[in-house]
Amino acid sequence: MKKIYFILIVLMTAFSACTDKFEAYNTDQKHPADVPGESLFSNAQKELSDFTNNTNVNINIFKLMSQYWTETTYTDEANYDLITRNIPANIYSRYYMRVLTDLKQSSKLISDKEVLFDSEKPVKQNKLQIIELMNVFAYSQLVDIFGNIPYTEALDANNVYPKYDDAYTVYKNLFVRLDAALAKLDVNAESFGSSDIYYGGDVASWIKFGNSLKIRMAITIADADNSLAKSAIESAAGKCFESNDDNCILQYVTSAPNYNQLYAELIASGRHDFVAANTIVDKMNSLNDPRLASYFTLADTSTVIGVEKLAYVGGEYGYNSPYGQYSHINGKIAKPDFPGILLTYSEIQFYLAEAKERGYTLPQTAATYYTEGVKASFDFWGTSGVDAYLLSPAVAYATAPGTWKQKIGLQSWIANYTRGLEGYTTWRRLDYPIFNLPESTTAYNQIPVRFTYPVNEQTLNTDKYKAAATAIGGDLVTTKLFWDKY
């Protein structure tokens, strides 16, 4: 009997061991089912920064759309070909699937997690509101790219055919969400700590970020809803970024996979796809702008054999521009640990200068905000000579040529260098600086002012797509967004 009992124990043990091995073999060790909400938040932050700073032509071509860079050999994207590489669908995927989905799941997991002590309640609240700020950031950018977007029915696994919400209505709701999140943040409590790879969990920094984001969103819609823009900016101006120390950046590291995507595309890929565009180089040359040395390299323009002549030369935008003949992207920008930039103090100062010109009640003059925006840009890039630059008649606010839109638009666009979407949006809003026409474009009004919807939306979500296209006036690159009035 003891022998039988012993055999039974052995068999049961063997079966248990086999079962354990079977379960281990059928468990994805690299992608665990139970992921902490904090980890999903970190991943959403990295995905957002990676996309924003990417320059892969399959994913993000905004540095081309803003005419900071142009292409060397294959010039399709600089000529506004969005379809061949299905760029709109790839943008959709990055925002909805890699950023917003992670944020939604992060919020759910953190919300569902039981709080054992009263002291943990404000920490949980802070985490949820910071996630909300990130949601607002991502959705506002989607609107700025496409116009009407899936919003109220987005991210629903049970509804794979979401409707498109009116872009203006979305923006107004984002302001409501933004204000609600800011009101609930508690500076006396902690948040994500090291899981927050932008601000290290510092709630005060997130409050400045939220108010700075409010200013960006408000100035974007100023021509469409001046009243809303005015109230939003006046409420946020005293609570926004105060210096470059407040900039929202992701500090990348030198090792894969956590290095800057600019390094991945410009260096690690071994490709030479981009050079400086003549659009920005010519304008900066005309201003004797010292930031040229921080943005680009000198090119050899020798015309006499044996005599070297170096200068900043941009390739003609949208035309074949051999890599060896033009200025390249500065090596500092191509370093693996160059930071990912999402929102800056310099950018906000130019928005405030514009707001002052629009008659909003702010403590400083437009000239003061403008000057501070230029100084902050020089400081960020570690470039000297800002005082002399600001004394130049072509730069000084009182004497620079053109309207305030031209002055602010030009300097804001220069300062936004490497952040293609913001440079592109500045051009769309203010109509400055004047862009060049690429090879395939014969008229200025043919330059895209939005991205078309993904092709798969046309085929898989046909009815909702058609309704959205009709609502915005046609799914065309020349259809202006609701805030692009002039």
| Distance in angstroms (rounded) separating the CA atoms of residues 233 and 212 | 9
Q: Write out the chain's pLDDT in tens, 486 residues.
A: 333 333 333 333 333 443 443 344 344 444 445 789 999 999 999 999 999 999 999 999 999 999 999 999 999 999 999 999 999 999 999 999 999 999 999 999 999 999 889 889 999 999 999 999 999 999 999 999 999 999 999 999 999 999 999 999 999 999 999 999 999 999 999 999 999 999 999 999 999 999 999 999 999 999 999 999 999 999 999 999 999 999 999 999 999 889 999 999 999 999 999 999 999 999 999 999 999 999 999 998 875 445 568 999 999 999 999 999 999 999 999 999 999 999 999 999 999 999 999 999 999 999 999 999 999 999 999 999 999 999 999 999 999 999 999 999 999 999 999 999 999 999 999 999 999 999 999 999 999 999 999 999 999 999 999 999 999 999 999 999 999 998
| CA 11 to chain centroid | 60
Architecture of domain 37-262+337-472: Alpha Horseshoe (1.25)
Output the furthest CA–CA distance in the chain (Å, rounded): 105
Residue recorded with tokens 């055999």: 7
Handedness of CA 58, 63, 65, 70 (dihedral sign): negative
| Distance in angstroms (rounded) separating the CA atoms of residues 193 and 203 | 10
| Distance in angstroms (rounded) separating the CA atoms of residues 252 and 260 | 6
State residue 256's pLDDT score.
Answer: 87
Task: Give helix 345-357 / helix 203-220 axis angle, nearest 10°.
Answer: 40
Angstrom CA distances, 47 to 80, 178, 292, 408, 454, stand at 25, 21, 29, 31, 20
Provide CB contacts within 8 A for 136, sequence distance 6+: 174, 177, 178, 181, 210, 213, 217
Phi, psi for residue 326 in degrees, rounded to 5: -135, 165
Q: Count of CB atoms within 10 A of residue 293's CB?
A: 15
State residue 303's pLDDT score.
Answer: 54
Where are the chain's structural domains? 37-262+337-472, 263-325
State residue 33's pLDDT score.
Answer: 52
Q: Are 156 and 139 in contact (CB under 8 A)?
A: no
Q: 150: helix, coil or strand?
A: strand
State residue 307's pLDDT score.
Answer: 53
Rg (CA), the chain: 25
Residue 122's H or E segment, with its range, is helix 121-146
